[in-house]
Chain A
Amino acid sequence: MKKFLVFSLMALMLASVLAACSNSDEASGEDSSGSDVTTLRMTWWGSQSRHDQTQEIIKAFEEENPDIKIEAEFTGFDGYFEKMAAQASGNNLPDIMQQNFGEYLNQYADKELLADLTPFVEDGSIDVEGVSDTIMESGKKNGKLLGIPTGTNALTAFYNKDMLDAAGVDVSDGQWTWEDYEQYTTSISEATGEYGARLMEPKNLFEYYLREKGKTLFNEDGTGLGYEDDQLLVDYFERNLELEEKGAIPNYDTIQQIKGVEDELIVRGEAAFDFRWSNQATALDSAAGDKPIGMTLLPGENNSQGMYLKPAMLWSISENSEHKEEAARFIDFFVNNIKVYEIGGSDRGVPIKEEIRSELSADLSETDQKVFDYIEMVTENSSPIDSNFPPESSEILAELTKIDELVMYGELSAEEGAEQFRSTVERIMSR
């Protein structure tokens, strides 16, 4: 009897430990009631307004598809891809994953973590009829369709109209040079006593600056930098250094304390310009109260060469998903159901479907109207996006940010910074 007790105890322990260790797929399969409800996991990054909207979109989807239940996991952009990396290593990526074009899509493509969506598009379960080829192309890598763009996006110079008026500045036609930018930020900050602009984020803006000068960040085959002359990066650094010295833009110590898009300087009326993605207009406007926020092209003599349309983000299905068909149904819903955009507006970019756009245009919110008009403007003044991001680019871009910080804090000169960036890239690429 005693022996029996002991062994049953042991068996129990073992069983419970094994159950805990085994990759329990409780998140999938049938729920306890025994009806055929499939549970999908879905992840995204974003601001609080996006979290609220997306959960509403999920509700709308579940109402129409009672056989699918979606479990949501969401965070801000910081930390999102770290979390995903951990899940990827455990072969535990969510069924539906919000992906980012460029460095991350290429990295995931490189590791073959995402499902090829071509069959779903071919058999019509994801209906992308009439979406322009350029847009669909951005979700492709190595001949596979790895993500469906959620909408169109572009870099934007957001500006506070009142503050520009105070200095007698008008940039609404998007015709302005870098010299204008320097002059305007200085005069605005003198006129208002606030900052003329937010400090630029090098990740996107140095790349834009290169494009505007006819260069690219990475070379054709993604094996190294796409520009020869370090002076370009030196110029980029020196412009910011000069403006910071004049007090026209803040330094990193101020930027560091911003807790999210809703907390940005432009929202608080403490900066006139802010260069960021057009889909963030929703979050900016909802936080800015009655401040009139305008949108225009980034500066530069050749800004139509620098500007490009980008998929705001992509919906991808992970290779390890056991419910790819159900996941595809959600993506189809997202692309084709007007409710999605009535709830979410332009928060994930301007809808990729013509009929959705025209159906919406009847009663757009003020913010969405602004974003739609702006994307029109960029469509006419842009050149194709670069997609030659090597898998190492997330590390390279993080290093660029660190070097930018060192330069802005005066620990490195602009020349040293540009040199160090090049040698860092070479070191990372040679591994």
Chain B
Amino acid sequence: MKPVPPNKKLNTGNQNVTGYAFISPFLIGLFSLTLFPILYSLYLSFTDFDLMGTPNWIGLDNYQRMFTEDPTFWKSMKVTFFYAGVAVPIRLVFALLVALALNKVVEMVGLYRTLLYLPSVVGGSIAVSIMWRQLFGNDGAFNSILASIGLPTHSWLGDPDTAIWTLIVLYGWQFGSSMLIFLAGLRNIPKTFYEASSVDGAGPIRQFFIITIPLLTPVILFNTIMQVIQGFMAFTPSFVVTNGGPVNSTLLYVLYMYQRAFEYFDMGYASAMAWVMLVIIAIFTALIFKSSEHWVHYESDAK
């Protein structure tokens, strides 16, 4: 290719059309299935839309109602923050530990990886949630095991203090996708670093903290952001396993939003809730990014 003289305009119109033609499926999808509904829900959040009639503009009423007159909203907020705050770190730590273990495996690595990834493949699904309900039910497998080794059984799903923990455990158990990403990150760390440090007399624990963790920080950052977003948006487990009960102790934010929209036909209010959640997630993501300057190391950073 000869370099093009800068002052000569290229006739690229034709090529652009071709390009747009090829990405048109994505563009059409983006506009009609993503962008339009997003903006429409913003409009709906200022109306009293009830799913069937015509929306009437009511200004900030929905937001005002949410913050001042709806104790259930605050309850669901509390539940969601607790859930995300506990379940996300558990999942990340678990994923990292399993990835470290797998990284040591030399034979049959594919098989192990697949087996460990399975819960997450079927993870978001109704089937696993239904299984969970059976598992922790009063006559479920978990209680049977406890009984057989002589420990007291408990109504795990029926007790407001423990029901949320069954969901947290479920979230932690579906660590597959973060684990795979960690594994890829681990594989990327050059062996020479470890060899050099062991020559200098560093043990595996020290190696882990001075080599593995620092070099893994970009991957940790990525996983944290993805999981925080997922944690805030969790819906299926509480919908299927407990339906928000007992006494709203597992009423995740998105589940409450769903109830508002489809059980009480309160679509305007639910749209407003969605936008509040968007702002919350945006703030968290921004904070994590902001903090990453202090703890994430990129190898390319020549500092």
Contacts and interface: CB of A to CB of B under 8 A. Distances in A.
Contacts of B157: 253, 256-257
A395 interface: yes
Interface of A: 2-3, 6-7, 9-10, 13-14, 17, 21, 81-82, 85-86, 88-89, 107, 111, 113, 251-254, 256-257, 394-395, 398, 402, 405-406, 409, 411, 427, 431
A14 B28 contact: yes
B50 to A, nearest CB: 8
Most chain-A Cβ atoms within 10 A of its Cβ — which of B14, B138, B160, B266? B160
A71 B149 CA distance: 51
A7 B155 CA distance: 63
Given A13-B28, A256-B245, A405-B245, A85 B51 contact: yes
Contacts of B51: 85-86, 88-89
Contacts of B289: none
Given A6-B17, A21-B32, A256 B247 contact: no
B246 A253 contact: yes
Given A21-B32, A254-B158, A398 B264 contact: yes
A427 B17 CA distance: 56
Given A21-B32, A395-B263, A256 B52 contact: no
B247 A406 contact: yes
Given A6-B17, A395-B263, A411 B159 contact: no
Given A111-B52, A254-B158, A405-B245, A394 B24 contact: no
B247 A409 contact: yes
A81 B262 CA distance: 8
B246 A256 contact: yes
A10 B158 contact: no
What are the nearest 6 A-B pairs in CB distance?
A253-B158, A82-B262, A89-B51, A395-B264, A111-B52, A253-B155
Nearest to A398: B263
Interface of A is mostly: helix
Contacts of B125: none
Contacts of B53: 111
A411 B247 contact: yes
A7 B65 CA distance: 51
A10 B21 CA distance: 6
A199 to B, nearest CB: 12
Contacts of A395: 263-264, 266
B194 interface: no
Contacts of A409: 160, 246-247
Interface string B1-32: 00000000000001001100110110011001
A113 B214 CA distance: 61
A301 to B, nearest CB: 33
B246 A405 contact: yes
